């Protein structure tokens, strides 16, 4: 069962990640420190919105999102909201040619307090990471707490839950958790899973579907970094997948199809208690990936331009669209996992074992090289953020130390530019798990 969202610590103790005695209205730590003690309260779905004559805030009393129209009259809230639209929304439309997070989410946020709070929390946290101004962290924490209490209130009446907007908000809150260095926290992913677990998700072209694909990509990123299965079950009994089938949808739908295939490979191969693949299972999963690759339109074919950049160890390959990069990243990652999970039909002698290891080393190096080369040739923050999972998993299989050094340096550069914490990626790239450098 997913862990419930905790309300047994005041905001100051939660922010400092210290134990709170739970005393109200003022806990012991705040009383000794002479601080105001603020507690998260579940939002009432029936209480009328508070509509002050003009937006204002004092210290940590920032403008409530209970009435989004009033909240966006606050210049500070409006600037943070615009920062999301201008700099961050495109991250979530990586594989969405219909641009739900750019064009739909901001409109819905004008009428949905939870969605607006989630946008403000994530966008303020991003500004804190990139600008280094403490005020933005305080703002981010305020709206994060506001989002949590609203989410608690909404999930008490799941049948009346506006699931598309709520799932979009949960994706943004997960990004907040990551960007504030709480990388291993899974509370909002778990909350999202609890909402989806008993629902039949019919994937089409609406906001719910856009939120689902974002949720799945976030889950994939965490799983690849932590080498574990997903938190969501992708069995056919739960999800109907129309997007991305051959002959249906648009160019971007192929990206969602391979996202789904990678998720299935992760769940089957990276689960701690998962039994070894049978040869028949392995052949089916590999055939699915090969069929996906063979069905791609010519637009997905990478363009190879030697000499495009000087002084790089990787081949110069690039694509027209961001979703072409993310799709190929997921394909190469899925293939890497499958090669590692390939069953052995019979015992091998020493020579055969050495030959098999050399073949595996070569294949993994090829897939890792393609993943890293495509990321390095991109100028898209959305691509870089989505690439951290594939790079963390595939990058260590690079056999050339110059390549590992280059992708490590570029990952750190992208982290500074996007505000995304990638501490696990450079650590993973420190050495090769399959032997010495070439």
Q: In order of start, what are the domains of the chain with their CATH numbers?
A: 1-37 (4.10.240.10), 66-199 (no CATH), 248-437 (no CATH)
Q: Give residues with Cβ within 8 angstroms of 407, minimum separation 6.
A: 314, 372, 375, 376, 391, 395, 398, 429
Statement: residue 304 has pLDDT above 80: yes
Q: Give residues with Cβ within 8 angstroms of 397, minimum separation 6.
A: 336, 361, 364, 365, 367, 368, 432, 433, 434
Q: What band does 197 get if pLDDT is binned at 50, 70 and 90?
A: low
Residue 435's pLDDT is 47
Q: Is residue 307 packed enough to be buried (19+ CB in 10 Å), middle (13-18) or exposed (0-12)?
A: exposed
Task: Give the mean pLDDT of 84-103.
Answer: 95
Residue 355's pLDDT is 84
* CA count, 13 A, side-chain hemisphere, 370: 22
pLDDT in tens, 243-275: 444 444 578 889 999 999 999 999 999 988 889
Residue 317's pLDDT is 96
Residue 430's pLDDT is 58
Task: Give the mean pLDDT of 19-44.
Answer: 58
Q: What band does 346 get if pLDDT is binned at 50, 70 and 90?
A: confident
pLDDT in tens, 36-59: 565 544 444 333 333 333 333 334
Statement: residue 338 has pLDDT above 70: yes
Nearest 10 degrees: Cα torsion 287, 289, 290, 296: 140
Q: 3-state DSSP helix/strand/coil percent for the chain, to nearest 5?
A: 60, 5, 40
Q: What band does 405 get if pLDDT is binned at 50, 70 and 90?
A: very high
Residue with the larger pLDDT of the pair 432 and 177: 177
Task: Give the mean pLDDT of 413-425.
Answer: 83
Q: Share the mean pLDDT of the chain.
A: 82
**Verdict on whether the full-model pTM lies above 0.85:** no
426-431 long-range contacts (CB < 8 A, ≥24 apart) are 428/392, 428/395, 428/396, 429/391, 429/395, 429/396, 429/398, 429/404, 430/404, 431/396, 431/404
Residue with the larger pLDDT of the pair 94 and 161: 94
């Amino acid at each position: 069962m997913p862990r419930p969202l905790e309300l047994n610590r005041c905001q100051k103790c939660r922010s400092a990640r210290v134990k709170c005695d739970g005393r109200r209205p003022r806990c012991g730590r705040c009383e000794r420190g002479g601080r105001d003690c603020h507690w998260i309260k579940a939002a009432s779905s029936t209480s009328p919105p508070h509509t002050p004559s003009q937006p204002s805030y004092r210290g940590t009393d920032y403008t409530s999102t209970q009435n989004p129209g009033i909240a966006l009259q606050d210049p500070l809230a409006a600037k943070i909201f615009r920062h999301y639209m201008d700099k961050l929304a495109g991250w979530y439309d990586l594989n969405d040619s219909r641009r739900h997070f750019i064009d739909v989410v901001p409109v819905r946020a004008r009428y949905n307090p939870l969605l607006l709070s989630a946008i403000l929390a994530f966008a303020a946290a991003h500004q804190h990471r990139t600008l280094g101004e403490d005020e933005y962290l305080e703002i981010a924490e305020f709206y994060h707490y506001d989002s949590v209490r609203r989410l608690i209130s909404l999930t008490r009446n799941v049948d009346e839950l506006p699931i598309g907007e709520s799932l979009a908000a949960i994706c943004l809150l997960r990004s907040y958790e990551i960007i504030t260095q709480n990388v291993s926290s899974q509370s909002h992913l778990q909350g999202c899973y609890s909402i989806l677990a008993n629902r039949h998700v019919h994937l089409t072209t609406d906001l719910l579907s856009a939120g689902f694909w974002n949720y799945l990509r976030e889950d994939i990123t965490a799983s690849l970094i932590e080498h574990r299965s997903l938190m969501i079950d992708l069995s056919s009994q739960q999800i109907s997948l129309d997007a991305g089938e051959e002959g249906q949808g648009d160019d971007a739908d192929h990206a969602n199809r391979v996202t789904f295939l990678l998720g299935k490979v992760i769940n089957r191969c990276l689960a701690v208690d998962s039994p070894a693949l049978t040869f028949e299972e392995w052949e089916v999963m590999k055939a699915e990936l090969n069929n996906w690759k063979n069905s791609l339109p010519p637009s997905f074919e990478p363009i190879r331009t030697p000499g495009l950049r000087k002084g790089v160890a990787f081949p110069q390959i690039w694509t027209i669209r961001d979703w072409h990069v993310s799709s190929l990243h997921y394909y190469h990652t899925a293939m890497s996992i499958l090669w590692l999970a390939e069953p052995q039909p019979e015992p091998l002698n020493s020579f055969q074992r050495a030959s098999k290891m050399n073949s595996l080393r070569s294949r993994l190096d090829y897939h890792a090289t393609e993943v890293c080369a495509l990321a390095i040739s991109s100028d898209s923050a959305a691509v870089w953020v989505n690439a951290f999972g594939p790079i963390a998993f595939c990058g260590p299989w690079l056999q050339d130390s110059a390549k590992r050094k280059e992708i490590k340096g570029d990952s750190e550069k992208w982290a500074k530019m996007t505000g995304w914490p990638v501490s696990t990626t450079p650590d993973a790239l420190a050495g090769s798990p399959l032997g010495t450098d070439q």
